[in-house]
C-alpha cells in the first residue's frame, strides 16, 4: 500500500509538472498583456503625455501572433514610443520586427539596443540564471544595423550612448541613453549631465537596468528611467515574485513602476514581450507592453 501511495504521488507530481510546463510554454508566453501606469512627473497643470514602452520582443521570423498584437498597439495613439532593446532573436528576424513596429514608426520614437540585437541566442541551461556569477555567451551576429537604419530613417532617435532633444505631444523632451550595460557597451560618462531646465520632460533609457547606470541618470535629475532585460523574472513564484533579474537590480523591482531609491526619479522596467528562444516559457509573468500616462506631479 505504501509503495502504491508513493507511486501515485510521484505520478501526480510528474503530471502536474508536465501540465505547468505546457501552460507556461504554450499558453502564458502568448498571453500578450497591456499594462497601464500613471507617472507623476510633469509640471503642475500640464496635460497628460502618453508613452508606449516596448522591450524584449526577441522576434523570430514566424511569430505572426506577436507581430499582429504589437501592430494593434498603434490604436492606443501614444505621443511617444520607446523601445529598450532585444528586438531580435534570429538572423532573419528584422522583417518580422519591422512588420510589428511599422505603424508605430509614424510616431515620435526613441530606442536603445540590447545584447540580443547584436548577437543571436545560444542554448544554455535555464538553471544557470540562478547562479550569482555566470559567463555571458553570445551566438551568431545579428543584422542590427539593418534595424537601426530603418528606425533612424523613420525619425526615431538612436540613444545608444547618445543624447537628444525632440518634440512629442507638443512638449520638449530631453532624452539620454546608453548601449547595453549587460555586455559593457555603456558609456554614460560620454553623455552625462543634467537635463536642460527648458525641457518639459527628461528620460533615461537603458536595456539592462543596472543600478550603476540608473544611479547616475537619477543623480543627473532625469524624471523617468526606462529599461527592459529582466523579462520580469520570466518564471515567477506566485506571492513571491521574480527569482532572478539577470542583473544587479533587486528582485522586488524586476518589473513595473518604482521610485528609484533616495531620488526624485521614477523607474519603469518592462517585463517584455518575448523569451529567449531556448527557454520559451513564462509563468506568473505574461509578456507585456506598457502605456505610461505621464501626469502632473
**Domains of the chain by start residue, with CATH:** 31-296 (3.60.21.10)
Average pLDDT rounded to a whole number, residues 67-77: 98
Contact between 36 and 291 under an 8 Å Cβ cutoff? The reply is yes
Cα separations (Å) of 288 from 94, 155, 255? 20, 25, 10
Residues paired with 166 in a beta bridge: 173
Separation of CA 145 from chain center: 20
SS (H, E, C) 28-43: HHHCCEEEEEEEEEEC
Q: How confident is the model at residue 9 (pLDDT cuts 50, 70, 90)?
A: very low
Q: Is the pLDDT of residue 148 over 80?
A: yes
Between CA 276 and CA 259 the distance in angstroms is 28
pLDDT at 14: 39
Q: If phi over 0 gives left and psi between -120 and 50 gives alpha, with beta otherwise, what is residue 86? A: left
Instruction: Quickly tell me which residue has 499582429 as its cell.
Output: 68
The stretch 75-101 carries a mean pLDDT of 98
pLDDT computed for residue 29 by the predictor: 86
Higher per-residue pLDDT: 278 or 63: 63
| pLDDT at residue number 22 | 53
Write out the three cell numbers for 217.
541618470
pLDDT number for residue 122: 75
Identify the pLDDT of residue 138.
72
Lowest average pLDDT, out of 78-92, 213-227, 235-249, goes to 235-249
Of the CA atoms within 13 Å of residue 267, those in its CB half-sphere come to 28
Choice among 134-148, 156-170, 198-212, 257-271 with the minimum mean pLDDT: 134-148
Give the pLDDT band (50/70/90) at residue 285. Answer: very high
Mean pLDDT of 120-132: 61
Amino acid at each position: 500500500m505504501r509503495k502504491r501511495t508513493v507511486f501515485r504521488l510521484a505520478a501526480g507530481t510528474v503530471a502536474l509538472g508536465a501540465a505547468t510546463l505546457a501552460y507556461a510554454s504554450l499558453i502564458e508566453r502568448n498571453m500578450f498583456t497591456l499594462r497601464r501606469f500613471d507617472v507623476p512627473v510633469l509640471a503642475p497643470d500640464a496635460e497628460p503625455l502618453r508613452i508606449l514602452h516596448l522591450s524584449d520582443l526577441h522576434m523570430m521570423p514566424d511569430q505572426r501572433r506577436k507581430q499582429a498584437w504589437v501592430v494593434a498597439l498603434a490604436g492606443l495613439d501614444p505621443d511617444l514610443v520607446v523601445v529598450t532593446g532585444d528586438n531580435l532573436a534570429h538572423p532573419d528576424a528584422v522583417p518580422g520586427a519591422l512588420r510589428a513596429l511599422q505603424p508605430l514608426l509614424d510616431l515620435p520614437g526613441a530606442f536603445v539596443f540590447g545584447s540580443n540585437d547584436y548577437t543571436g541566442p545560444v542554448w544554455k541551461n535555464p538553471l544557470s540564471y540562478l547562479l550569482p556569477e555566470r559567463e555571458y555567451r553570445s551566438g551568431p551576429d545579428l543584422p542590427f544595423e539593418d534595424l537601426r537604419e530603418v528606425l533612424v530613417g523613420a525619425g526615431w532617435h538612436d540613444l545608444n550612448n547618445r543624447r537628444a532633444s525632440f518634440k512629442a505631444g507638443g512638449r520638449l523632451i530631453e532624452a539620454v541613453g546608453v548601449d547595453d550595460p549587460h555586455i559593457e557597451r555603456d558609456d554614460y560618462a560620454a553623455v552625462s549631465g543634467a537635463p536642460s531646465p527648458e525641457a518639459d520632460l527628461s528620460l533615461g533609457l537603458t536595456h539592462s537596468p543596472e543600478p550603476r547606470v540608473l544611479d547616475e541618470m537619477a543623480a543627473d535629475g532625469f524624471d523617468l528611467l526606462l529599461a527592459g532585460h529582466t523579462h520580469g523574472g520570466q518564471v515567477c513564484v506566485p506571492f513571491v515574485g521574480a527569482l532572478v533579474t539577470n542583473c544587479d537590480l533587486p528582485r522586488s523591482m524586476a518589473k513595473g513602476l518604482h521610485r528609484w531609491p533616495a531620488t526624485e526619479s521614477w523607474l519603469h522596467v518592462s517585463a517584455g514581450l518575448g523569451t529567449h528562444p531556448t527557454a520559451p516559457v513564462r509563468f506568473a509573468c505574461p509578456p507585456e507592453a506598457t502605456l505610461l500616462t505621464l501626469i502632473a506631479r
